Each structure stands twice: as C-alpha cells, then as structure tokens.
Structure 1
Amino acid sequence: MRRTKEQAAQTAEQILLAAENLFLEQGYDDVSLEEIAASANVTRGAVHWHFKNKQGLLRSMRRKALEPYRKLVDDLSENTRVASMDTLCTLISDMFRRIQAEPRYQGLFCAMARLDLTMAAKNEADGRTFREEKYALLVRIFELIEQESGLPDPWTPNKVASAFNASVSGLMLEWALGRGTIRLVPDGIVFVKALLGLWVNRGSPISSSQ
C-alpha cells in the first residue's frame, strides 16, 4: 500500500509538470487533456483521476506555489533569529526573478487570476481554502518576525499580512495583464523592499543586497 501511494504521488507530479510545460508553451486555453496525458505518458483517465480537469491542474499549481511560504514558516519556527523582513524580501525577490526569466508565465498567471475570480464569484470551498491557507502562512511569518524584532504601531501580523498579500497580488496581476510598464525585476523587487520597509521596527532597514 505504501508503494502504491508513492507511485500515485509520482504520477501526479509527472502529470502536473507536463501540464505546466504545455500551458507555458501553448497557453492554458489551447491545451487539451489528451495532450497533457500524452506528454506525461499516462492515460487521460489518469489525468481525470488525479486532477479531474484542467482547472484541477491549475488549482494544484497554485497550491504548489505556496511551498516557499510553507518552507519559510518551518525555517523561521526552527530559528526565530532569522525571522527578519530580509528573509521574506529574499523569498519574494527570488520568486520574481524566476518568473521574469520566463515571460510565458504571464499567460499562466492570467489563467490563475480568472480561476480565482470564478471561484470567488461562486464562493467555492477550494478557492476559500487557498486564500485562507495563503493568509494563514503570511500571518504566521509576520508573527515570527514580530516575536524577533517587533512591528511598529498600529500594525499587527494580521493587518500586515492582509496589506502585503493585497499589494503583491495586485502587482503580479498588473504585470500578468501587461498594464503599464511595470516589471517584476527590478521594479517589483524595489516595490516589495520599500513595502516591507514600512513594517521594520526600530529603524532597521531592509538589506540593500536583495
């Protein structure tokens, strides 16, 4: 039974990787489940079983995008002395660099944004779960930062998490939609550094090395 679960997880990861590559190459709307199955070397039934449909694949990709935040929470929980705004700034900056290096991510982000709007309009549980998990991770990150260095009044971890999430999500959506001249690198990194600087306590600046 243990081996079966491992094989299932490996197959799901294989399908997810194939789908992401095809979405980037052809665009989300132009890729069929048959193409995804063929690229992953599995049957269409396997794709249905693991993800149900293309939206299910997109949901899984979106959840996977939270992995760096989960890892950061784990790292900060084990060693609060590294719980600084610098740590979070580095995470976001690295993410922006990876995305900027692959311009085709714009189309994928647009598809994810459409999915978010659809689920929010329908008040679907999966959409709420994702938003709640992302918010909870950010709150925990800022709680750990507050424990180590504090937050300036009147900010609390909950308030900072809400403002930070809204700002970064809005920035990425503007970039994905191609509005204006905003670039994730270097513009987005400069913006995030300045934003996090608002919540640095005791006048400690965000490192200039980001």
Structure 2
Amino acid sequence: MYIRSNKRKLQAIETKNRIFDIAHAMFRERGFYNVTVEEIADAANISVGALYHHFKNKYELLTAWHDRLDEQYAKYYSEVKKNPAFAEAKAPDLIREMLLYIQETCINYGTEYISVIYSYLLSNPEFATIMTDMRREYYIIMTELMEQGQKEGSIRKDIPVTQLVHDLTIVSRGCLTDWAIEHSKTRMRDFSRSVLDSFLRGISA
C-alpha cells in the first residue's frame, strides 16, 4: 500500500512538472495572454479538470515559476560559495554577483514575463504575499549575506538587515521594471550594474 501511494505521489509530481514545462514553453513562444488553459491541457494530453487539480488557474503557473527560480538561486549560491574566485570576496561583492545572476534568470523568459508578473502582483494580494515571504530562498540568501557583511564590517551596522534586504529588493525590481519598460536590448548585467553599485556603495561600511 505504501509503495502504491508513493508511486502515485511521484506520478503527480511528474505530471505537474510536465504541465509546467509545456505551459511555459507555450508562453515563451506565443505569449502568456495568447495561451489558454484548454490549449495547455491539450498539449499535455490531459483533461482541463486534471490540469486544475495541479494549478487552480493559469496565473498559478507564475507562482510555480518563482518556486523554480528560488531553486536555481539556491543552487547558484552554493556554487558561488565554493568558487575559488569568490574565496576572498566580501559580502557586497557576493550580493552584487547574486543579484546580477537573479536578474539575468528572471528575464530569461523575456519582457512579457516581467509585465505579467508585476501586474499580477498589484492585482492579487495572495500572490504578493507569496512573493514577499521572507521564507523564500531569495530572502534567505540576501539576509544571510547582509548579516555576513555586518559581521565582517563591510556593511553598515546602523541599518537593520531587514531594511537592507527590503531596499535591495526595491532596487532590483526597479531595474527589472525599467528593463522591461524600455524593451532594452542591453544585457541585464550591464543594464543594472551601475544602479546596484551605487546602492552597495551607500550601504558599505
């Protein structure tokens, strides 16, 4: 009975991941607003009801996208900490590298993703709560780095860590939003580096 139950759970996870991958491939190719739930279900070879069992609406796929992003952030953060190139790096340098990577990862699906996500954030308080949850991997990483910086003396101690992380997030969202507004062709790292460096200079001890 346990084996059968575990197998069902694994199959459910596989199905959910398959729906996610198919949907996001369609969003990327045709645009979020041009893809219907019925088309996603048809491409995944499942019923609409089965799709709704895993995602209550099309927008919930955006929440799942950010779960995937957080997994990537955690993986990259682990790689950075092991990278000899960052062995002697202070917290501001690590924060810069992590945020530049995060922004690059966010814009991987293009301008429309940024506009859709931020529009949904403004219109859906539940989604906004999920995105601003301090238990998200993004916030955990940035909090750890800010605390490290204060401990090693590279970041000002007169500003609470929660405020530092909050302000950094505002800077990051501003860069992503402006990149989308301008439909910029500039590489994301180059687009946001000067703004991020200005912020980091302001909080450096």
TM surpasses 0.5: yes
1:93 positional shift: 2.2
**Aligned twin of 2:94:** 87
4+ residue runs over 6 A deviation: 72-78, 80-83, 179-182
Structure 1: tracts of 5 or more residues without a match: 202-210
Matching residue's letter, 1:20? H
1:43 corresponds in structure 2 to 47
Distance 1:108 1:13, change over 3 A: same
Q: Is the 8 A contact 2:22 2:44 kept in 1?
A: yes
Instruction: Give the aligned CA root-mean-square deviation in angstroms.
Output: 3.2
The residue number in structure 2 matching 1:105 is: 110
Q: Once the 2 structures are TM-superposed, how far is the Cα of residue 77 of structure 1 from its aligned partner?
A: 9.7
Higher mean displacement: 174-183 or 192-201: 174-183
> Bigger shift: 16-25 or 141-150?
141-150
Post-superposition CA distance 1:66-121 (Å, at most 9, x none): 2344446778999x987722223222223444556x5x51101111111100113x
CA distance in 1, matches of 2:120, 2:186: 23
Q: Aligned residues, how many? A: 194
The whole-number CA distance in structure 1 between the counterparts of 2:151 and 2:161 is: 10
User: Contact (CA 8 Å) 1:84, 1:149: kept in 2 or not?
Assistant: no
Q: Does 1:184 align with 2:185?
A: no
Q: 1:196 to 1:66 in 2, by over 3 A?
A: farther
What SS does the corresponding residue of 1:36 show, helix, strand or coil?
A: helix
Residue of structure 2 aligned with 1:167, choices 168, 171, 191: 171
Q: What is the TM-score with the length of structure 2 in the denominator?
A: 0.77
Shift of 1:184: 2.0
Superposed displacement of residue 59, structure 1 = 1.8
Task: Report the Cα distance in structure 2 between the residues aligned to 1:13 and 1:43, rounded to whole angstroms.
Answer: 16
Matches within 5 A, 1:115-134: 115-120=120-125, 124=126, 126-133=127-134, 134=136
* Runs of 5+ consecutive residues of structure 2 not aligned to the other structure: none
1:30-83 per-residue CA deviation (whole Å, 9 max, x = no partner) reads: 1011221233333322211111110111221133322344446778999x9877
One-letter amino acid matched to 2:101: D
Segment of structure 1 superposing worse, 8-17 or 39-48: 39-48
Instruction: Please say if 1:31 is aligned against 2:38.
Output: no
Q: 1:48 to 1:82 in 2, by over 3 A?
A: farther
Q: Which residue of 1 aligns with 2:146?
A: 142
TM-score (norm 1): 0.75
